[in-house]
Structure 1
Amino acid sequence: ADNDVIYRAVVESALTLSDILNVPVITRINASYILFLSGHVISGLRVHRDGEYLIYPLGGTVILKRVKDGKQEFLHGHTNNVSCISLSRNGVYIASGQVNFMGFKAMIIIWDYAQRSIYAQLVLHKAKVEALAFSPNSKYLVSLGGQDDGSIVLWNIETKQAICGSPASAQSAGHCLTVQYSNTNDNIFLSAGSGTLRVWELDLTNRKIRPTECQTGKLKRIVTEDDQYIFCGTTSGDIMKINLKTGLLSDFGPVKSKYSLGVSVLKMLKSGDLLVGSGSGTFTLCSRTNFKTLKEVQLEKGVTSIALSEDGQQFFVGTETAQMYRFNYQDFKAELISSSHSSAVKDVAISFGTSELFATCSEEDIRLWHIDRPKELLRITVPNMTCNSLDFMVDGHSIISAWNDGKIRVFAPESGRLMLIIDNAHRMGVTAIAGTRDCKRIVSGGGEGQVRVWELKSRGYRLLETMKEHKATVTCIKVKSDDKECVTASSDGACIIWDIVRFASLQMVIANTLFRTVCYHPEEYQIITSGTNRKIIYWDVYDGTAIRELEGSQSGAINGMHITQDGKHFVTGGDDKLVKVWDYMEGVVTHVGIAHGGSITSIKICSNNHTLVSTSADGAILRWRFPHPLEAT
């Protein structure tokens, strides 16, 4: 492995130098595609001026996605979620700011676009960076702190130093939400928020920025036009046109039909007309003279980003639901180019045998994907509910799923049709689920700690038994290949092996941890477990003794684990955001995958060992090339 790989392995996976030296080669594996757009970052989707790449945040990572073929590159450096992003006019720099924990500084990173590397790290704001904007000639960067910081700072890009700063708004005014630079003057920028609009002028000689106040009401986004007028979108659904020189309201609209749930994003075309996105999902082209709607499209939920190509003939729109659309100016038709979950992905399951389909679950929905194409095949939605776990039945005819309303739902994977619903399956929500290989039974676990076995019939179901030894939430269930036993992991610190024919516990293993995941070795004489103590433990199935203990992570719980069918390797993922591939017999890491921007929640290897799928708490789904394919027989 080269020096960069070893450096990243040591620093980012918290392996010690002795760990590295004990591994012949520790190689970085790369994600072949990623499904995600953070719909919660306002104006988080951008198009580079070269027209080749879309740029957007992924948890704590900045993604560069090539428009032509979807190829992706990842910029790592933030220690927490990215909260805002900006591009310089000349295309040389990307700036991204992050959130951080209370009491800690929030970092800004300026990236060198050509080198895909960190140009500067700027740290002054407390807790959160709310917004960023480059000056027109890329000399300066203005940054706005979050509500707990409340300051504006102007940075010199060449020297990488702060020039000056100031409170973002007057004490009597509300919270400032955004900043926007003048289109022509490096010394003029604007800030806006709840009850405040200010035009700032830089006095470089005295290292001061001086504001001129305008009272305009609650503002969401601002955009400038050749430095004569400011267009402001408001939470009340109005667009206001303000004279930049006088600070006086020149015009406002639309008069009759305001934008429902407010104006969330504004962009100006070269013609001067406005693209407007609203909180209700309405996306319009409107006239700059009278704010009359010229074209309109209704998208799913609120619009959070509008990104224009350099020629203005094509633009991309992102929404709260992590949908990304492409539009052409002429026909103004929405083309959905990517979609993903907009909240934490709870679980992933790969169809047994075929390795072509996989399913993921999150709040309100289950989605089905083809493993070679990053496009959604099917979406199954249950409004206002969260799917905690899911699995494919071995015959491929159904998807079984566990929901927080205490119900088990069974769906057809081809159509998404609801085939069966088991009401009141668990009193405190269904938290884990697995099916037997004969496809005749379901084993479920609940928030109250109970494990239940259900018999599936041609018309309905029957509860066979309730087993009650766990004292807390059941987090994971795996069924033995002969369908006679299963193992359950729980946050009570116990894993129990059950006889699911006689419905009795056979063995219990206990550790000082909240167990998150458990796997049978394919030969089924051992199980491996992990959880919040960051240890990976091998256990003997028959007497419950611990055989081996490994240090799985030094910076967070391990939430997901899966083992290959030949039993030679297993994978883990957790709060350290790293995908790790392990040699089972040697107990060492062979490969490390770095791409996730949030805590990994689930991880699975396809049956042919070609592909690995991981999910995370920021809504991301990543596909990886598994580095140890099965040998041909």
Structure 2
Amino acid sequence: MDLEPQVVSKLELEAVIGFNGHVFSGLRVHPDREHLIYPLGSTVILRRIKDGKQEFLQGHTNNVSCISVCKSGSYIASGQVNFMGFKAAIIIWDYAQKTIYAELELHKAKVEALAFSPNDKYLVSLGGQDDGSIVVWNIETKQAICGSPASAASAGHCLALQYSNTNNNVFVLAGSGTLRVWELDLRNRKIRPTECRTGKMKRIVKCVEISEDDQYIFCGTTSGDIMKINLKTGLLIDCGPEKTKYSLGVNVIRTLKSGDLLVGSGSGTFTLCSRTNFKIHKEVQLEKGVTSIALRGEGQQFFVATETSQMYCFSYDDFKAELISTSHNGAINDVAICFGTSELFATCSAEDIRLWHINKPKELLRITVPNMTCNSLDIMMDGHSIISAWNDDKIRVFAPESGRLMLIIHNAHRMGVTAIAGTRDCKRIVSGGGEGQVRVWELQSHGHRLLGTMKEHKAMVTSIKIKSNDKECVTAGSDGACVIWDIVRFISLQMVLSNTLFRTVCYHPEEYQIITSGTDRKISYWDVFDGSAIRELEGSDSGAINGMHFSQDGRHFVTGGDDKQVKVWDYMEGEVTHVGIAHGSSITSVKLCCNNSTLISTSGDGAIMRWRFPHPPSSS
């Protein structure tokens, strides 16, 4: 007899912190002037400029690689990357309904760029390096009109695409050794290229902008100059600036109503310059490369984004940068939620720890340790300190209000401190290292003392959880061992072994069982007293499970891992009740607030997602 397949509900995404700064021209302002549009992972985010309120467009199966918004604002198009040999989807979204209008699939592996025609009737898509083709789509029929290889066989691949502002049949493609004006012949369903004549000038073009009157094409190059080309004749008019080229290339150009250009470079230089001789009128130096410039309305206000995932707001008059959004731009290694309040949480990654407010996706505090990586962190129960584990063998303790360094424990572990946890009485720290040792430290009013060192693990300690009585803890290691320790007498009480690299371990809230997960994709239940295996669940179809956390009542737990899915499990049934799909990279950690209402997940691309936890706590 066939059993009916279990219905798994969708987790509701409440807010995200983050922005993919590596998507060129990935930040857009909607023509309604009210919303910023940008990608993060497999999600397109619509953020209201006035109050930061977010809405989400979800439907992609992998990272969003490009975005375009039509002139009327009725449609948003987004393209994605996919695995080699697979088709990469383009989704056209109905902006008013916030739903999928059409899904288009012809390109292989990656969609490099998208552009709408001025009358919103056509969409041009450019495939990535492994595809190399352009396709013109009819938006009304949702069908391809025609396609062609994007560049000549002798040229490199194309990187930039721009539609004419007034002519629905003309668009420009540019890239490595390619600069072409294409004309659409709708009657014959063909597109025909005309090569632009740049003479001896050989450049790799990173971005293209067409002046509002369709007279000129401006091309930003990797060598740091801007080529100005006559759109009708295809002839090179000028190339500048002559004396001071933009360091690390020109990443993005936007034309203003005045005719002047906004230019962002790979070194973070952002300028306002003349379109006639490229003379710089105003200049600001931002942190790292500029990847997006989005104009609001007539260009009196504009938004600039960098590859470090920072967003700035500028006004044309004073040209001063106002930082409006920050986020991690690399892998987040751990997340900790402040106990009791459920209002604050902390994340850590390379070089920094950041403190956030749970309801406002805004950074409250940043603690930076240059050139070091924070592997793990915990917020002490009393909320008075953040304890953190670093790859330079040190444990650092910070004050959460000011970020002041309160304590540093040198040489805490050889091969880096890899896991850390604090006791409920806030008097001791348990740490694990890359060499496999577990150590217990006493915090004193003026310093610290090493109480004990325990050695059973043969490899890196990946996770530590302390029992509520502060007398025992459990550690997981990448040697396939989980050890339960007496942290008063500093001896091992129980060990469980499995053929996996353990990534995480959790006590059930009643503390008679532990659950583990790791690279074998299994979730295992173990008895604390005799170490016997109770149950094994298939936790993931692909990749390791990196994060796990229990609800307060012990009826549910959450997992996240390399399959990029946040899963909510029923503990007794051993079944998934809800799945959240929004991350575009491996999930590194998941945590539930103590009030069971909010779930936080983090991933390898720097994204922080806040989900509504679907199961209210039991009244019993």
- What TM-score, normalized to structure 2? 0.93
CA distance, structure 2, for counterparts of residue 367 and residue 586 of structure 1: 37
Query: Can you list the C-alpha shifts for 1:413-451, whole angstroms capped at 9, x where unaligned?
Result: 122222333334333332211122233332222333332
Segment of structure 1 superposing worse, 393-402 or 594-603: 594-603
CA distance, structure 1, for counterparts of residue 459 and residue 119 of structure 2: 59
CA distance, structure 2, for counterparts of residue 488 and residue 272 of structure 1: 63
CA distance, structure 2, for counterparts of residue 127 and residue 629 of structure 1: 41
The corresponding residue for 2:345 is: 358
Matches within 5 A, 1:355-504: 355-504=342-491
Closer/same/farther in 2, CA of residues 545 and 409 from structure 1, 3 Å limit: same
The corresponding residue for 2:529 is: 542
1:288 aligns with 2:275: yes
CA distance, structure 1, for counterparts of residue 175 and residue 433 of structure 2: 45
Cα drift, residue 183 of structure 1: 1.1
The corresponding residue for 1:190 is: 172
Is the contact made by 2:553 and 2:618 (CA closer than 8 Å) also made in structure 1?
no
Query: Can you list the C-alpha shifts for 1:21-58, whole angstroms capped at 9, x where unaligned?
Result: xxxxx654423221111101000011111122221111
CA distance, structure 1, for counterparts of residue 279 and residue 236 of structure 2: 18
Is the contact made by 2:164 and 2:210 (CA closer than 8 Å) also made in structure 1?
yes
1:299 aligns with 2:258: no
CA distance, structure 1, for counterparts of residue 341 and residue 284 of structure 2: 39
Is the contact made by 2:42 and 2:582 (CA closer than 8 Å) also made in structure 1?
no
Give the superposed CA RMSD: 2.4
The corresponding residue for 1:254 is: 241
CA distance, structure 2, for counterparts of residue 384 and residue 149 of structure 1: 38
1:129 aligns with 2:129: no
Is the contact made by 1:32 and 1:625 (CA closer than 8 Å) also made in structure 2?
yes
CA distance, structure 1, for counterparts of residue 42 and residue 360 of structure 2: 25
Is the contact made by 2:18 and 2:40 (CA closer than 8 Å) also made in structure 1?
yes
Letter in 1 for 2:532: T
The corresponding residue for 2:256 is: 269
Of 24, 49, 56, the residue aligned with 1:74 is 56
Cα drift, residue 364 of structure 1: 1.8
Matches within 5 A, 1:141-160: 141-160=123-142
CA distance, structure 1, for counterparts of residue 10 and residue 53 of structure 2: 18
1:223 aligns with 2:197: no
Closer/same/farther in 2, CA of residues 579 and 208 from structure 1, 3 Å limit: same
Of 52, 56, 64, the residue aligned with 2:34 is 52
Structure 1 unaligned residues grouped into runs of 5+? 1-15, 21-25
CA distance, structure 1, for counterparts of residue 263 and residue 40 of structure 2: 24
Segment of structure 1 superposing worse, 517-526 or 604-613: 604-613
Letter in 2 for 1:391: D
CA distance, structure 2, for counterparts of residue 448 and residue 198 of structure 1: 57
Letter in 1 for 2:17: L
The corresponding residue for 1:239 is: 226
Closer/same/farther in 2, CA of residues 218 and 593 from structure 1, 3 Å limit: closer
Query: Can you list the C-alpha shifts for 1:470-500, whole angstroms capped at 9, x where unaligned?
Result: 2333221101122221111123322111122
Cα drift, residue 223 of structure 1: 0.4
CA distance, structure 2, for counterparts of residue 279 and residue 516 of structure 1: 37
Letter in 1 for 2:159: L
CA distance, structure 1, for counterparts of residue 107 and residue 618 of structure 2: 53
Cα drift, residue 630 of structure 1: 4.9
CA distance, structure 1, for counterparts of residue 558 and residue 458 of structure 2: 28
Query: Can you list the C-alpha shifts for 1:83-105, whole angstroms capped at 9, x where unaligned?
Result: 11111222222211111222222
CA distance, structure 2, for counterparts of residue 322 and residue 389 of structure 1: 22
Of 82, 98, 104, the residue aligned with 2:80 is 98
Is the contact made by 1:609 and 1:626 (CA closer than 8 Å) also made in structure 2?
yes
Paired residue secondary structure (1:362): strand
CA distance, structure 2, for counterparts of residue 47 and residue 269 of structure 1: 14
Letter in 1 for 2:181: V
Of 35, 57, 75, the residue aligned with 2:17 is 35
Cα drift, residue 149 of structure 1: 2.2
Letter in 2 for 1:608: N
The corresponding residue for 1:11 is: none
Closer/same/farther in 2, CA of residues 270 and 472 from structure 1, 3 Å limit: same
CA distance, structure 1, for counterparts of residue 534 and residue 451 of structure 2: 34
CA distance, structure 2, for counterparts of residue 174 and residue 499 of structure 1: 63
CA distance, structure 2, for counterparts of residue 448 and residue 272 of structure 1: 61
Of 54, 58, 68, the residue aligned with 1:86 is 68
Query: Can you list the C-alpha shifts for 1:268-296, whole angstroms capped at 9, x where unaligned?
Result: 11221111111122222222223222233
Letter in 2 for 1:129: V
Letter in 1 for 2:210: T
Letter in 1 for 2:189: R
Paired residue secondary structure (2:6): helix
Q: How many residues align?
A: 613
Cα drift, residue 138 of structure 1: 2.1
Segment of structure 1 superposing worse, 195-204 or 578-587: 578-587
1:624 aligns with 2:611: yes
Is the contact made by 1:30 and 1:594 (CA closer than 8 Å) also made in structure 2?
no
CA distance, structure 1, for counterparts of residue 392 and residue 157 of structure 2: 38
CA distance, structure 2, for counterparts of residue 55 and residue 307 of structure 1: 10
1:202 aligns with 2:184: yes
Is the contact made by 1:404 and 1:428 (CA closer than 8 Å) also made in structure 2?
yes
The corresponding residue for 1:526 is: 513
The corresponding residue for 2:145 is: 163
The corresponding residue for 1:13 is: none
Matches within 5 A, 1:593-608: 593-608=580-595
Segment of structure 1 superposing worse, 114-123 or 375-384: 114-123
CA distance, structure 1, for counterparts of residue 450 and residue 133 of structure 2: 60
Matches within 5 A, 1:304-323: 304-323=291-310
Is the contact made by 1:74 and 1:595 (CA closer than 8 Å) also made in structure 2?
no
1:574 aligns with 2:561: yes
CA distance, structure 2, for counterparts of residue 430 and residue 402 of structure 1: 5
- Residue identity (%): 80
CA distance, structure 1, for counterparts of residue 366 and residue 316 of structure 2: 29
Closer/same/farther in 2, CA of residues 489 and 241 from structure 1, 3 Å limit: same
CA distance, structure 1, for counterparts of residue 50 and residue 521 of structure 2: 41
CA distance, structure 2, for counterparts of residue 323 and residue 242 of structure 1: 32
Cα drift, residue 341 of structure 1: 0.5
Query: Can you list the C-alpha shifts for 1:594-613, whole angstroms capped at 9, x where unaligned?
Result: 44343322111222333322
Of 598, 601, 613, the residue aligned with 1:611 is 598
Closer/same/farther in 2, CA of residues 194 and 27 from structure 1, 3 Å limit: closer
Cα drift, residue 162 of structure 1: 2.7
Cα drift, residue 359 of structure 1: 0.4
Letter in 2 for 1:219: V
Query: Can you list the C-alpha shifts for 1:554-578, whole angstroms capped at 9, x where unaligned?
Result: 4443221112333333222233433
Cα drift, residue 411 of structure 1: 1.9
Structure 2 unaligned residues grouped into runs of 5+? none
The corresponding residue for 1:561 is: 548
The corresponding residue for 2:95 is: 113
